[in-house]
Amino acid sequence: MSISVGQILAAGIGACIIFDLWQRIFAVFTGIPPSNWAMVGRWLLGLLAGQGLIARDLAAQPVRPNEAAAGWVLHNIVAVGYAVLYAGLMQAGWLRAGLVDGLVFGLASVVVPWLFFMPALGNGVMARLTPNPRLACVVALVMHAVFGLTLGGIFALLAT
């Protein structure tokens, strides 16, 4: 199966859109707010300004111009990066396009926020510095499961 750049972009951005929509639906039923991409942008812009990989008191830092846009751009770039990885794993024969392999991929991908983004944003490994680390980790797991299911599903649709 040959996978084009267009298919990778469509899968990554499409799965990102569904992820974001699901976060908003999830928030309606749980009261748990969706990800704050402005904070991610603040972290990214601080990193680019030389403030280091691990943010300290990110919420207390002054608002940076264009931080929300930077956060949304990074969010979509990461989603496309996941699609590139998924496509590579399909090319290697380790994954197939579909919901089951998408779910497996999504569940495995949660190590990135648990071990990188949560600490980088100042929340510690697996959100240990937040008021409810278990909840933060479970929410990340659910969201990545949705993302992976969608990514695998979109690749399956594009393969037909």
Round to whole Å and give the CA distance between 4 and 19. 22
**3-class SS of residue 64:** coil
Round to whole Å and give the CA distance between 101 and 154. 12
- Give a yes or no: residue 63 inside a domain: no
Does the pLDDT of residue 2 top 90, yes or no? no
DSSP-assigned letters across all residues of 119-147? HHTTS-GGGTTSS-HHHHHHHHHHHHHHH
Residue 156's pLDDT is 97
Residue 17's pLDDT is 97
- Give a yes or no: residue 107 inside a domain: yes
Residue 144's pLDDT is 98
Domain that holds residue 129: 5-35+80-159
- Give a yes or no: residue 132 inside a domain: yes
Q: What percent of the chain has pLDDT over 90?
A: 96
- Give a yes or no: residue 19 inside a domain: yes
Residue pLDDT, tens place only, 11-69: 999 999 999 999 999 999 999 999 999 999 999 999 999 999 999 889 999 999 999 99
- Give a yes or no: residue 67 inside a domain: no
The pTM score is 0.94
- Give a yes or no: residue 88 inside a domain: yes
The upper half-sphere exposure of residue 114, i.e. CA atoms within 13 Å in the direction of its Cβ, equals 18
Confidence of residue 1 (pLDDT cuts 50, 70, 90): low
Counting the structural domains of the chain, the total is 1
Does the pLDDT of residue 93 top 70, yes or no? yes
- Give a yes or no: residue 60 inside a domain: no
- Give a yes or no: residue 52 inside a domain: no
Residue pLDDT, tens place only, 108-150: 999 999 999 999 999 999 999 999 999 999 999 999 999 999 9
